[in-house]
Amino acid sequence: MELQAVLMAAGGGSRMMDLTYNTPKPLLPVGNKPLIWYPLNLLERVGFEEVIVITTKEVQKMISTDPKVKLDVKMKLDLVCIQEDADMGTADALRHIQQKVKTDVLVVSCDLITDAALHEVVDLFRAHNATLSMLMSKAHEFTETVPGQKGKKKTGEQRDFVGVDGTGKRLLFMANEADLDEGVVIRKSIMRKHPRMHIKTGLVDAHLYCLKKSVVDFLADNKSISSIRGELVPYLVRKQFSKSTNSPKVIDETHQNLKKNDKIQISSRDEELLHLTQERSCWNDHRGDMSDAYHGGRLRCYVHIMDEGICYRVNTLAAYIEANRLAPKLFDEPAVHPSAVVSERCLIGADSIIGASCQISDKTSIKRSTIGVSTTVREKVKVTNSIIMHGVTIEEGCNIQGSVICSNAVIGRGADIKYCLVGSHSTAREHNSKIAPEKRLTECHRAEVNITYHYKSITYNNCHKVSK
C-alpha cells in the first residue's frame, strides 16, 4: 500500500462558535451536505478505499445514528475516537494512531473544500522522495457581508510567510507572523543554497499534508509537538537546512532504530543503489553552484500552490458563507431536491439549493440561498443571500437578507432579518419586529425574543442564556 488517508475531524471550530456550539463542525451543513462529506468525496474520487477518521464520540454517534447525516461514501471509514476534553492537537492525534499507520500518510482536515488535483501534491511527494508535501492556494477575498460582524474585518490577522524556490515547488521557509518578533529572519545557509527565493503571503494553507512514515514515528518519540501546522511543518522546513545535513537526521535515526537488523541491511543495500542512481543520473534540481542534487540534503519539503480552482477551509463564518455559495459547483446534483414540495408560484433563483423534504409555499422568492432539509417556508417570504439550515420554520411575510439561520429556529410572522445570525432553536417574535443589521441572536433552547430597534444592542425577554 502506498498511502493511507487520515481525516482529522476532531476540531472544535473555535472560530465560529456561533455555529458550532450546537452542531459539531464536521457536521455543519454546507450546500445541504455535512462538511465532512467534502474531503471524503475528494479522497473517494481520487481512488482511496479506506480512510482513518479521527473524531469525537459525539460526531461518531451522530454519523452512525442520524440518517440525515448519512454519508453516502463508499469507502471504508475507520472511526477513531478521542476524548473531547483532551485538547489534542493534530500531531497528538497522529501520535494516537501511530500503530495503525503502516505506510506514508495523507493527512486531510475535515473543513477542506477543494477541487484540487491531488496527484500534483502526491507526485511531488513520490518523485522527489520528499518528507513532506503540502497543498496551498491563493487566498480569495471574501465578498459576502458576514452577519454579526461589527465594522470591517481586521486585516491584521496573522499572516503566513511562505518562501519557495525558483521553481515554485520546493518549500524553503515558513513562518507565521505571530512567531516573528520584528522581521522575517532567513538563515544564510538557505540563501547560500537557494539564492532566489520567492516569499508569498497571500496563501491559504489547505491543511493537506503527505508525510513519510518516519515522520509519524518521529512524532511518537517527540511528544512536545502537538500541532502539525503550527509546529511540525515549520520544524521540518527548518530541518532541511540544519547543520547536521550530512549526518543522518533525527528522523532517519529513529527510522533505522525501529527496524530490525536484517532490515537495516536491506535498506542500506537499497540506499547504495539509490545513491548509485543519483550519481549516474545527470539531473540536478538547481544550478550555479558545485553541490549535488538537493545539496546532498536528505530531508525535503515540497508545496503545490494552486492558482485556480476552489480551495477553502471552512473555519470562520465568512468562509462558511463563501463555501455555501460555491458548494453547488462541486457536485452535480440538482439544485432542487426531488422530494421537496415546491409550489408553482414561487421564484427560486438558479443558484439556490433546496434540500430534501422542504415545503416552499406560494409567492416566495428565494435567491442565492441555501435552504436546508425539512424546512418550511410559508407564503410571501423573501429569502436573499442567506443560509437556512435544517428544520427551520419561516412564517409568512418574512424578509430574510444576508443571514444565517441555524437549525430548528423559528422565524415569526413578518420578521425582517437583515445580516443577522440566528442561533439554533431560537425564535424571532412576530409582528413587525425588525432585527437591525449586524446583530447576532444567539439563543440556547427556545427563548422568545422581542426585538426593539436599537443599533448595536439586543434586548431579550425571557431568555435563559445570553451570549454576546
Partner 1 sequence: MYHRYVVVALSRRKPNEGKELTKEEKQRLRKQKKHQKKQKERKNEKGPSETEKDKTPVSLLPPPQPVATQKAPSALPAPASAPIPVPASAPFHSSPAPSPADKPAKSKAELKAERRARQETDRAAKQPGSSSSGIKTKVPLSELNPVVKRLPEHVQVDDPAVVKRLAKKLERQQIPLRSDYGYKVSLFSHLHQYSRKAPLTQLLSIPSTVIHPSIVRLGLQYSQGIVAGSNARSVALLHAFKQVIRDYTTPPNEELSRDLVNKLKPYISFLNQCRPLSASMGNAIKYIKKEISNIPSQCKEEEAKTKLLTCIDRYIEEKIVLAAKAISKYAIEKISDGDVILVYGYSSLVNNILCEAFEKSRKFRVIVVDSRPRLEGREALRRLVQRGISCTYVLISALSYILPEVSKVFLGAHALLANGYVMSRVGTSQIALVARTYNVPVLVCCETYKFCERVQTDSFVSNELDDPDDLMVTRKGKTQLENWQDVSSLGLLNLVYDVTPPDFVDLVITDLGMIPCTSVPVVLRVKNLDQ
Contacts with partner 1 by CB under 8 A lie at 1-5, 46-49, 106, 117-119, 122-123, 126-129, 266, 269-270, 273-274, 276-284, 287, 290
Min separation Cβ 64 and partner 1, Å: 26
Please give the full DSSP string across 235-279, using - where no structure is assigned. HHHHHTTSGGGSSPPHHHHHHHHHS-HHHHHHHHHHHHHHHHHHH
Residue closer to partner 1 by CB (options 106, 233) is 106
> What's the CA gap between 12 and 60, in Å, rounded?
14
Three-class SS state of 22? coil
Min separation Cβ 299 and partner 1, Å: 17
CA distances from 220 to 92, 217, 225 (A): 9, 5, 9
Residue closer to partner 1 by CB (options 117, 197) is 117
Question: Which of 4, 164, 172 lies closest to 80 in space, CA to CA?
Answer: 4
Chain position carrying cell 543503489? 273
Min separation Cβ 52 and partner 1, Å: 13
> Please, how many CA atoms are within 13 Å of residue 47, restricted to the half-sphere of its CB?
7
Chain position carrying cell 558545485? 290
Helix count and strand count (H, E) for the chain: 11, 32
Positive or negative, the Cα torsion across 257, 259, 260, 264?
negative
> What's the CA gap between 11 and 54, in Å, rounded?
10
Residue closer to partner 1 by CB (options 126, 429) is 126
β-pairing verdict for 203-211 and 132-138: antiparallel
Min separation Cβ 303 and partner 1, Å: 17
The amino acid sitting at 150 is: K
Residue closer to partner 1 by CB (options 75, 356) is 75
Residue closer to partner 1 by CB (options 179, 292) is 292
β-pairing verdict for 393-394 and 376-377: parallel
Min separation Cβ 116 and partner 1, Å: 12
Residue closer to partner 1 by CB (options 4, 240) is 4
How long a stretch of residues is the chain?
468
Min separation Cβ 93 and partner 1, Å: 21
Residue closer to partner 1 by CB (options 294, 419) is 294
Min separation Cβ 5 and partner 1, Å: 8
Min separation Cβ 294 and partner 1, Å: 10
Residue closer to partner 1 by CB (options 43, 340) is 43
Strand partners, 5: 51, 106
